[in-house]
Structure 1
Amino acid sequence: MRKGEKTKQQIIVLATDVFNQKGYFGTSLTDIMNATGLKKGGIYNHFENKEELAIASFDYAIEVMTNTYAKAIEGKKSAIDQLIALISIYENIIDNPPIKGGCPILNTAVESDDTNPVLRKRAQEAMQKWLKLIQLTIRKGIRRNEIQPTVDIESFSTFLTSTIEGAVMLSKLYQTNSYMKQAIKHLTESIENFRVE
């Protein structure tokens, strides 16, 4: 990787935490300069504007999350164990989040809802990938006779996601992992109930 490409990647990595904690509108150029140690020209030498950097940072955050999902299910043989591993990623969302600031999809979706169509579209695409991962895992479990075929795949993937994202919000609001731990406990019980006896 050439020096310019390496610097650009470093800016993205360092800006990701800032954007995910402060949001697109809450993040100033000064915040990015402080995080990267670069001056305005050093940043805009690599990015046309703040939106371009925000999009690159969001894409990087999703890449980190995707790698986290892959690592979580590595070595898990059954679909049930994979589903439980995926939700357990968030168990210590306050003390040890996969990315500082919480879930980048949730943060971006809430902030960009009516104000930034490009980031909103990116958040929709990332959420679709997450929902597809959950749905494919359930389908795989049904095919392997690990999960009961009566499970409503789309409904449960929506329920699981809504529960996790709601627990992320509550945990961050009150700065405690307890809401997430409760959500994971109930989701785990639901997933275990899908197991073929």
Structure 2
Amino acid sequence: MRDAEQTRQRILEITADEIHQHGFQATSLSTILARCEISKGALYHHFANKLELGYAVFEEIFTPMFLATWQPAVEAADPIDGLCNFFHEVSQSMSCEDIICGCPVNNLCQEMSGVDEGFRLRVLNMQQKLNHLIAFNFQRFSSSLRSDLDFNQIAYFVVSSFHGAYSLSKSAKNKELFDKVVNELCLYLNNLRKN
């Protein structure tokens, strides 16, 4: 990787961390410059402004990370077991920082979707990709599921419930709330199976 590519990647990674810690609007370019140990000119060589940098972080860091996190669970031989195992693994590995900071993608979606059309469209695109991934894999597993199901609706419900659990535990600073929502979500998923 060339120096310019390494610098750009470092800017993206540090900005992603700053956005996760403080939110997009409170993220300071001067802090990013200091942490990256680069000049303002070097930053502007790669990104025209903070908004363009934010879009790049969302598209190149958060979206691939988010989809890659869900993919093994829904592509498991049994996506219901895969998802429930994934949710419980997230719960078990959740640190105090995770509870306080929440999910970086969920935070950015809540902060910026209503403020900036560019972010809203990027969030929507990412959500549609995840919805398709989940719905496709439930369809693949449909012979084991009830016949009255709408896999797109299920996918949106699953993601909304999971992110709601993150938001709830973040606002209450209470991991037990996350666990309770996840346990209910797994009961719901298991009830999708044929009797």
TM-score greater than 0.5 by the shorter chain = yes
Aligned length: 193
Aligned residues of 2:66 and 2:105 also touching (Cα < 8 A): no
1:26-41 superposed matches below 5 A: 26-41=26-41
1:76-155 superposed matches below 5 A: 76-88=76-88, 90-92=90-92, 94-95=94-95, 101-142=101-142, 145-155=143-153
In structure 2, the CA distance between the partners of 1:107 and 1:170, relative to structure 1 (3 Å rule), is same
Percent of counterpart pairs with the same letter? 27
| Aligned-partner residue type, residue 182 of structure 1 | K
- What is the CA distance between 1:147 and its match in structure 2? 1.6
Could you tell which deviates more after superposition, 146-155 or 100-109? 100-109
Which of 155, 161, 164 is 1:163 aligned to? Answer: 161
Aligned residues of 2:113 and 2:123 also touching (Cα < 8 A): no
**Match for residue 68 of structure 1?**
69
- What is the CA distance between 1:189 and its match in structure 2? 0.9
* Structure 2: unaligned runs, 5 residues or longer: none
Distance 1:14 1:71 in 2: 26
Distance 1:49 1:121 in 2: 19
Could you tell which deviates more after superposition, 107-116 or 51-60? 107-116
Aligned residues of 1:93 and 1:102 also touching (Cα < 8 A): no
Distance 2:29 2:93 in 1: 27
In structure 2, the CA distance between the partners of 1:102 and 1:92, relative to structure 1 (3 Å rule), is farther
| Aligned-partner residue type, residue 147 of structure 1 | L
1:32-51 superposed matches below 5 A: 32-51=32-51
- What is the CA distance between 1:50 and its match in structure 2? 0.8
| Aligned-partner residue type, residue 25 of structure 1 | Q
Distance 1:94 1:87 in 2: 10
Confirm whether residue 22 of structure 1 aligns to residue 50 of structure 2. Answer: no
Could you tell which deviates more after superposition, 154-163 or 120-129? 154-163
Distance 2:85 2:147 in 1: 21
Confirm whether residue 173 of structure 1 aligns to residue 171 of structure 2. Answer: yes
Query: What is the DSSP-based 3-state SS (H/G/I as helix, E as strand, rest coil) of the residue aligned with 2:146?
Result: coil
Distance 2:47 2:122 in 1: 18
- What is the CA distance between 1:71 and its match in structure 2? 4.1
Q: TM-score, normalised by structure 1?
A: 0.85
Aligned residues of 1:84 and 1:188 also touching (Cα < 8 A): yes
Distance 2:13 2:105 in 1: 17
Distance 1:175 1:80 in 2: 28
| Aligned-partner residue type, residue 110 of structure 1 | Q
Q: TM-score, normalised by structure 2?
A: 0.86
Distance 1:97 1:86 in 2: 19
Deviation by residue 1:68-126 (Cα, 9 ceiling, x = unmatched): 2234456x32122233244446425751888x943333222222233211111111111
* Structure 1: unaligned runs, 5 residues or longer: none
